[in-house]
Amino acid sequence: MAPSGTRERWLAPLLFAACTRLGASTEAPPPTLGDESAAGADMGGDSGQDSPAAARAGSKARGGAGGGGSDAARETTNPYVEPAGAPAELPARTFRLSHAEYAASVEALVQKTIDVSDLEPELDNGIYRNMSSSGLVRTDLLEEYYAKARAVTDALDTEELEALVPGHELEAEAKSRFIAASVERAFRRPATDAELEAYGSLFELGASEGDITLAFRSVLRALLTSPHFLYRTELGASDAGDEFSLTDHEVASLLSYGLEGRPPSEELFAAADRGELTDPKRLEDHVRELVAGTRAEASLAAFAAEWLELDAFQISGAPGDPPLPEKDAASFPGFDDVRSAMQEEARSFVEGHAGLDATLEELLTTDVPEPRGALGDFYRSGQSGSAGGERHGVLSLGALLSLGAHETRGSPTLRGLFVRKRLLCQEVHPPGRAPPALDRTQAGADAKTTRELYEQHAKQAACVGCHAELDAIGFTLESFDGAGRFRTEENGVAIDTTGDLSGTDRDRALADHAELARALAESEWVRECVATQAFRRYFGELESARGLPPIQAARRALRAGTFGEALVALWSTPSTYRRRREP
């Protein structure tokens, strides 16, 4: 992880005073409004915002929102500014294997699958689970690694053990060949002379009482607990200077674990042997080959689920707890019956429209097919839901809409917050003092619609300053209730889906969520954000500066290209193999 001082330089421009509008052009991304990491908990349940009514009035003054209709001619408040280029070098590091990568690596070495579900749970640091800085090996996990190593090597029968030995004979003469091959598979690089000697010595100790199989098992067991096995390294050659290139084999591991979740294939290893992975002219070819594979497709789907927070949508909860998001059965009868279908709808849509051949515009704007069966019936089971109901893009998926909601109602705040955080990479700061609770005021009690409730609430002085930036986005999704059901009215009042997008390069008044989707699809800030999210997830690293080559390359690729092209661009810059040593 980069020193905090370094990171501060990048993040500082993001951290605007809570909920203030960005002024004219700066080099910074648009302001994010706050980090509601407790999913609304510290906004007083949703409270605290600039008056949406005032926001709409302001929008009208600037171009006529409120009545619907986009206003692309309106002057933007935060035009996109191309960043100055940042150095390609990323910090030198070690990167502990994730549990899934560990399992794949064990299998690659001993040709046996292992169960890793009982390993110490991986830390969720609130960014992505595979951030390299989270990969600590504490005593309990180390003990589990040792136990797994012992169990899996003890379980190898003679035939299985022979299969791992070049020549397939369990004899002392095979020692050197076996160790060289095993170290290469385990450490994802050729063995050093010192390693051949050290593991050779261990082999001989294992064989010292006449059991030759113990010699082979002991070497494998030792390799499975070695830090060279448990960590990917990004250290370069031992004589590298402060700024240096990784070894080709280190690049092979970075690419293969990043894109395929497993150690390098024989083909990639051979390319590393030939020195092609630190050759800028050849790197992209190899990246393209990896990205074309089915494993890369799976890794992209996994990234999309994490990025879009779809993994928070559960079919079953933790022991004793209901699944998330929880819904009040009286408010949304039948929700639990369609959880699986709703999750499947989201999975299918995202895999199809955030896949290698899809574009960001598709993901954000493609019409969601009306589902058949129980889920379709559910979506039309709201107060008024017999007509219309068109859904445009990922934001209108039932799974995301029900996550952007509370148990009894939808939440324009949470929905707006999602757009700010996940699509614009903007920070939104919760208010320092807790605002009044949303439902506890007379104004709240009098509100007939969710929109009225939020607008009334936002009139309170304590709420001024935040919610307009969030709710004005979320209001465009008001045609969907807290469980994703379509509605044209709420408690007899016609639904108003007008809203406003601010703090971006595509600021405009919005008639509905379709206009929101189109505006986001046009935004360069959104493309930079998606590229940034991909960098964090795939490199397991926070960006230390704006303008990092892989992020900017992926952003440009997202303009007209597919997610697959963006992945190729992300991985094909010198940042894949250039590193710097930190003090």
Partner 1 sequence: MRPMVLPRHGLCSRRALLRSALGGVFLAPFLRQRSLEAKDATPKRLVLVFTPDAHPREWWPSTDDGGKLGLGAPLRDFAGLESELLFVRQLDHSWTFDNHHEAGMAQLFTGARFFDDATHYANGPSIDQVLLARTDLRGGTPIPDVHLAVADSGEGNQRHVTCYSGPGQPIPHEASPSRAFSKLFAGVSFGGSSAEGAPTSTLERELQKRMFELDRDAIQSLAAHLGQAERERLDVHLDALGELEQRLRPVNDAGTPPATGCEAVATSGVTTSDRQAANIEKWGQVQADLLVNAFLCDRTRVADLAFGSSGSQHTGLLGLKNGGTDSWHEVAHLSLGEQERTQSVSLDGEALTAAAAYAEFDRLWAARVAYLAKRLKAIPEGNGSMLDNTLIYWGVECGTDHNHGPSDMQYLLIGGRNLGFQSGQLLALPSATSAHRLHTSVLHAFGDVEATGFGIEESCGPLTGVLA
With CB under 8 A as the contact rule, the residue among 107, 120, 279, 489 that binds partner 1 is 120
Min separation Cβ 37 and partner 1, Å: 7
With CB under 8 A as the contact rule, the residue among 117, 238, 294, 442 that binds partner 1 is 238
Site for partner 1 in 538-577 (CB under 8 A): 542
- Contact call for residues 553 and 283 (beta carbons, < 8 A): no
DSSP annotation of 423: I
Q: Which stretch binds partner 1 (CB under 8 A): 144-152, 157-165, 308-316, 503-511?
A: 144-152
Q: Which stretch binds partner 1 (CB under 8 A): 220-228, 378-386, 393-401, 452-460?
A: 220-228
Site for partner 1 in 48-107 (CB under 8 A): 91-94
Rounded Cα distance, 262 and 254, in Å: 10
With CB under 8 A as the contact rule, the residue among 51, 153, 182, 218 that binds partner 1 is 218
Q: Is 4 in the site for partner 1 (CB under 8 A)?
A: yes
Q: Longest C-alpha distance within the chain, in Å?
A: 90
Rounded Cα distance, 93 and 236, in Å: 10
Best CA proximity match to 277, nearest among 244, 297, 253: 253
Min separation Cβ 193 and partner 1, Å: 14
Min separation Cβ 350 and partner 1, Å: 24
Rounded Cα distance, 309 and 548, in Å: 25
Q: Is 312 in the site for partner 1 (CB under 8 A)?
A: no
SS3 of 71, please? coil
For CA atoms 525, 526, 531, 532, give the dihedral sign: positive
Per residue, the 3-state secondary structure of 320-384, as one string, reads CCCCCCCCCCCCCCCCHHHHHHHHHHHHHHHHHHCCCCCCHHHHHHCECCCCCHHHHHHHCCCCC
Q: Is 44 in the site for partner 1 (CB under 8 A)?
A: yes
With CB under 8 A as the contact rule, the residue among 318, 372, 387, 492 that binds partner 1 is 318
Residue entry with tokens 């109901």: 389
Q: In this complex, which beta carbon is closest to partner 1, that of residue 54 or of residue 207? A: 207
Distances (CA, A) of 339 to 336, 378, 418, 490: 5, 11, 21, 23
Site for partner 1 in 264-303 (CB under 8 A): none
With CB under 8 A as the contact rule, the residue among 20, 225, 348, 488 that binds partner 1 is 225
Min separation Cβ 146 and partner 1, Å: 7
Site for partner 1 in 351-410 (CB under 8 A): 406-409
Beta bridge partners of 509: 500
- Contact call for residues 486 and 480 (beta carbons, < 8 A): yes
Rounded Cα distance, 423 and 421, in Å: 6
Min separation Cβ 458 and partner 1, Å: 17
Min separation Cβ 134 and partner 1, Å: 7
Q: In this complex, which beta carbon is closest to partner 1, that of residue 140 or of residue 267? A: 140
Q: In this complex, which beta carbon is closest to partner 1, that of residue 140 or of residue 337? A: 140
With CB under 8 A as the contact rule, the residue among 35, 284, 289, 351 that binds partner 1 is 35
Rounded Cα distance, 348 and 365, in Å: 15
Rounded to the nearest angstrom, the gap between the alpha carbon of residue 577 and the centroid of all alpha carbons in its chain is 22
Tokens of 501: 């997008």
Helix-helix angle 193-206:175-187, to 10 degrees: 120
With CB under 8 A as the contact rule, the residue among 25, 41, 169, 367 that binds partner 1 is 41
Q: In this complex, which beta carbon is closest to partner 1, that of residue 26 or of residue 386? A: 26
With CB under 8 A as the contact rule, the residue among 86, 202, 212, 443 that binds partner 1 is 202
Site for partner 1 in 122-141 (CB under 8 A): 122-127, 131, 133-141
Q: In this complex, which beta carbon is closest to partner 1, that of residue 220 or of residue 375? A: 220
Q: In this complex, which beta carbon is closest to partner 1, that of residue 398 or of residue 435? A: 435
Q: In this complex, which beta carbon is closest to partner 1, that of residue 38 or of residue 73? A: 38
With CB under 8 A as the contact rule, the residue among 227, 280, 333, 388 that binds partner 1 is 227
Q: In this complex, which beta carbon is closest to partner 1, that of residue 210 or of residue 373? A: 210
Q: Which stretch binds partner 1 (CB under 8 A): 100-108, 205-213, 304-312, 488-496?
A: 205-213
Q: Which stretch binds partner 1 (CB under 8 A): 11-19, 107-115, 366-374, 393-401?
A: 11-19
With CB under 8 A as the contact rule, the residue among 241, 319, 373, 492 that binds partner 1 is 319
Q: What are phi and psi of 578, to 5 degrees?
A: -95, 135
Best CA proximity match to 50, nearest among 511, 461, 414, 477: 461
Q: In this complex, which beta carbon is closest to partner 1, that of residue 339 or of residue 406? A: 406
Give exposure, 236-256, as e/b (b: 16+ Cβ within 10 Å). Answer: beeeeeeebbbbbbbbbbbbb
Rounded Cα distance, 291 and 299, in Å: 10
DSSP annotation of 13: G
Q: In this complex, which beta carbon is closest to partner 1, that of residue 367 or of residue 582? A: 582
Site for partner 1 in 424-483 (CB under 8 A): 429-440
Per-residue mark of binding to partner 1, 14-33 (x: CB under 8 A): -x-xx---------------
With CB under 8 A as the contact rule, the residue among 198, 298, 312, 443 that binds partner 1 is 198
With CB under 8 A as the contact rule, the residue among 21, 228, 295, 380 that binds partner 1 is 228
Alpha helices in 431-548 (DSSP H): 442-446, 450-458, 467-474, 513-522, 524-539
